[in-house]
């Protein structure tokens, strides 16, 4: 079993709040006020509101067998000055509220190249109430490759990512774009927070839009800390980070979107309701 090396705190944001580019700065200003009120250190980056553009695509079987079995298959393309980079980011994730189940999943792929495996704890608000928190554990494999083809069957995908062999499927189901939706992600990296005792976290603010309709889907505020051992996090720093996370909801409720995750939003835009434990 792997130890958690990342703790990422995520809050969904109302898409209607992002009606102009300046709204990234407006929200960051509110967050800085809340942080100072809570005794959290804040640093704003140079070029904090440079807007990065990415295309995000999710793939699954027609019956969403991957997602129903807690897997996420995502391709992300980064753009520089309006042009896509030649290499893509392929992410395979297994997410569960059960830490031991998520940690025990072997996410290593059968391939060579730039591969990174991460095990993180995601801190999320409750699905129907602001001001509180819950944990979801995410075991991720990130692959950087110029050749990403996602039109095969589950059997072909599982030959590269053996963890997916556990999916309840005949193996012949084809992989296709979820709900035929391409997402445009606009993200800024405004700064970072200091919770004391060496516990710091980088912040991001993002908005997701449907590329076809140009409608905004959902926003997200997140901050992530990286560490060598979970037990090394100082109790006071951990408590302060959690208090700030809850305060960011209760002290700026007009920004908060109740729900689960950005991925769940994309899956939920189809004709069928998808049951999942996110």
With CA atoms as reference, report the closest residue to 209 among 101, 85, 54, 70: 54
DSSP annotation of 257 reads: -
Tell the CATH topology of 8-267: Hypothetical Protein Pfu-838710-001 (2.40.320)
The residue whose two tokens read 């100082």 is 234
- Per DSSP (E only), the strands in the chain are 6-13, 41-44, 52-60, 71-80, 83-84, 88-96, 114-124, 134-145, 176-177, 183-194, 200-210, 216-226
pTM of this structure: 0.93
The answer to whether the CB of 148 falls within 8 A of the CB of 267 is no
The two three-digit tokens of residue 30, written as one number: 């509110």
Print pLDDT tens along the chain (278 aa): 478 999 999 999 999 999 999 999 999 999 999 999 999 999 999 999 999 999 999 999 988 999 999 999 999 999 998 899 988 898 999 999 999 999 999 998 887 678 899 999 999 999 999 999 999 999 999 988 877 666 677 888 888 888 888 786 666 788 899 999 999 999 999 999 999 999 999 999 999 999 999 899 999 999 999 999 999 999 999 999 999 999 999 999 999 999 889 999 899 876 666 666 67
The two three-digit tokens of residue 177, written as one number: 């774009």
How is the chain split into domains, by residue range? Answer: 8-267
pLDDT of amino acid 269: 78
How far does CA 215 lie from the centroid of its chain?
20
Using a 10 angstrom Cβ sphere, with 0-12 exposed, 13-18 middle and 19 or more buried, the burial of residue 122 is: buried
């Amino acid at each position: 079993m792997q130890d958690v090396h990342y703790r990422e705190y995520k809050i969904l944001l109302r898409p209607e709040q992002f009606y102009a580019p300046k709204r990234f700065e407006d929200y960051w200003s509110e967050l800085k006020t809340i942080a100072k009120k809570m005794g959290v250190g804040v640093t704003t980056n140079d070029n904090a509101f440079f807007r990065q553009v990415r295309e995000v695509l999710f793939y699954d079987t027609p019956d969403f067998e991957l997602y129903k079995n807690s897997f996420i298959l995502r391709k992300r393309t980064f753009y520089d000055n309006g042009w896509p980079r030649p290499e893509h980011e392929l992410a395979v994730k297994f997410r569960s509220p059960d830490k031991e189940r998520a940690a025990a999943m072997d996410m290593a792929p059968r391939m060579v190249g730039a591969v990174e495996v991460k095990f993180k704890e995601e801190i999320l608000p409750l699905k129907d109430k602001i001001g509180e928190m819950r944990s979801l554990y995410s075991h991720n494999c990130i692959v950087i490759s110029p050749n990403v083809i996602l039109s095969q069957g589950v059997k072909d995908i599982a030959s590269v990512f053996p963890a997916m062999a556990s999916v309840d499927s005949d193996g012949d189901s084809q992989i296709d774009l979820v709900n035929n939706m391409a997402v445009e992600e606009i993200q800024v990296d405004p700064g970072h927070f200091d919770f004391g005792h060496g516990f710091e976290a980088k912040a991001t603010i993002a908005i997701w839009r449907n590329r076809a309709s140009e409608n905004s889907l959902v926003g997200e505020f997140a901050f992530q800390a990286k560490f060598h051992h979970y037990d090394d996090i100082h109790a006071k720093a951990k408590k302060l980070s959690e208090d700030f996370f809850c305060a960011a909801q209760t002290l700026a409720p007009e920004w908060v979107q109740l729900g689960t995750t950005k991925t769940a939003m994309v899956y939920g835009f189809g004709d069928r309701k998808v049951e999942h434990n996110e």
